Structure 1
Amino acid sequence: MTEQVKVDLVLDLKGLLCPMPIVKLSQAIKDLPVGAVIEGIATDPGVMADVPAWAKTSGQELISIEQRDKEYRFLIKKVK
């Protein structure tokens, strides 16, 4: 990631398996204002497919998603 993004909430999703990372993400984003950014850190490789699909269907913006060693990190911006 080259640009700095202000993160409003960090979600520790390590150890959770599908569908729990998406369930937790979906719950957390409801309490945030439009424009807020969530950083998720997960260990389930399924988030690499699940998070982009969830962002698209829920209308939120996927800023980035990447693998770092055995962790998967993503940034989601609340659009609506």
Structure 2
Amino acid sequence: MATGSGSAGEYDLRGLNCPLPVLKTQKRLRDLATGDRLWVRTSDPLAVIDIPNFCREKGHGLVETETVEDGHRFLIERG
């Protein structure tokens, strides 16, 4: 059942390169309930390709993507 809590923590994965941001995001999302949201922060330039593909393939929602000074942030809703 979806909790849809709306409160999104931030998972800081800056400094990690492909494939670690996706692998660690996948592991962290397993601990969340369906509908929960998580901000993922990365510095890996490939994350702008990898994170959206991961969300699409695994059925998670990519709610928002931001370019920030040192990389990107992704708001993911667990599917």
TM-score tier after normalising by the smaller chain length: 0.7 to 0.9
5+ residue gaps, structure 2: 1-5
3-state SS of paired residue (2:17): coil
Q: What is the Cα-based RMSD across aligned positions, in Å? A: 1.0
3-state SS of paired residue (1:34): coil
What is the aligned partner in structure 2 of residue 77 from structure 1? 77
Scaled by the length of structure 1, the TM-score of the pair is: 0.87
3-state SS of paired residue (1:6): coil
What is the aligned partner in structure 1 of residue 7 from structure 2? 6
Q: Once the 2 structures are TM-superposed, how far is the Cα of residue 70 of structure 1 from its aligned partner?
A: 2.1
What is the aligned partner in structure 1 of residue 30 from structure 2? 30
Take 2:77 and 2:52, find their aligned partners in 1: how far apart are those partners?
12
Scaled by the length of structure 2, the TM-score of the pair is: 0.88
Q: Once the 2 structures are TM-superposed, how far is the Cα of residue 49 of structure 1 from its aligned partner?
A: 0.6
Q: Deviations over 1:33-61 (max 9, x none)?
A: 11110101111111101011000000000
Pairing of 1:56-71 with structure 2 (within 5 A): 56-71=56-71
Q: Once the 2 structures are TM-superposed, how far is the Cα of residue 6 of structure 1 from its aligned partner?
A: 2.7
Q: Once the 2 structures are TM-superposed, how far is the Cα of residue 71 of structure 1 from its aligned partner?
A: 1.9
3-state SS of paired residue (2:27): helix
Take 2:71 and 2:19, find their aligned partners in 1: how far apart are those partners?
17
